């Protein structure tokens, strides 16, 4: 894994503002790794690479889906806001040479979450939401929780907020987000 090569490829793939966001997510993920005892290098790589597929056009999406035989579910089809995480996990593996399963899965699930997330998956999911340039109602509450060792509580709030937002916008809710939320509640992690 050549970090400089990965960084250069991502910089080429993303507009400047999104590249800055990716740097912020990587930096935030490293800070969270120090708090929660996660591998900082893995967190940085997952953070910098998490949105590598975010700005693909339809032809590029088709190219990668066909090339790597990616199976998008009914909700992900024609929805780059959701599918970029899955497609990005393949790009990270096959185009960037990232073979670490933890990093690949952190990229893969950073948009929807999933049931029984591991630590790096949680860190990348939440770092994407709370990086320093994010500004939305409730972001300070999430930051306070996360930086005060209440990661699972912050995750539950963020899943609830995502589900509310999707409902208010009359969109489909991805099952993985519901499963992630329900897992936290069922297992009394809070």
pLDDT in tens, 135-158: 999 999 999 999 999 999 999 999
Band the pLDDT of 189: cuts 50, 70, 90. Answer: low
Residue 16 has pLDDT above 80, yes or no: yes
pTM for the predicted model, two decimal places: 0.96
pLDDT for residue 2 is more than 90: no
Q: Which tokens is 38 given?
A: 């996660």
pLDDT tens digits, 23-55:
999 999 999 999 999 999 999 999 999 999 999
Q: What is the pLDDT of residue 190?
A: 54
- The answer to whether 127 touches 147, Cβ cutoff 8 Å, is no
Mean pLDDT, the chain, integer: 95
Mean pLDDT of 63-89: 95
Q: Is 100 exposed, middle or buried (0-12, 13-18, 19+ CB in 10 A)?
A: middle
**Residue 127 clears pLDDT 80, i.e. is over it:** yes
CA dist., res. 135 & res. 133, Å (int): 6
């Amino acid at each position: 894994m050549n970090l400089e090569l990965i960084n250069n490829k991502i910089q080429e793939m993303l507009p400047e503002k999104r590249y800055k966001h990716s740097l912020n997510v990587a930096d935030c993920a490293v800070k969270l790794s120090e708090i929660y005892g996660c591998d900082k290098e893995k967190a940085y790589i997952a953070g910098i690479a998490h949105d590598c597929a975010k700005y693909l056009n339809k032809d590029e999406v088709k190219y990668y889906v066909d090339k790597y035989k990616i199976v998008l579910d009914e909700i992900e089809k024609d929805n780059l806001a959701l599918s970029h995480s899955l497609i990005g996990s393949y790009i990270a593996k096959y185009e960037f040479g990232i073979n670490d399963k933890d990093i690949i899965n952190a990229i893969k699930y950073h948009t929807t979450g999933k049931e029984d997330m591991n630590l790096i998956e949680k860190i990348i999911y939440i770092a994407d939401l709370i990086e320093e340039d994010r500004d939305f109602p409730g972001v300070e509450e999430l930051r306070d929780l996360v930086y005060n060792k209440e990661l699972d509580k912050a995750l539950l709030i963020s899943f609830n907020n995502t589900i509310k937002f999707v409902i208010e916008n009359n969109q489909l809710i991805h099952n993985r987000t519901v499963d992630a939320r329900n897992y936290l509640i069922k297992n009394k992690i809070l």
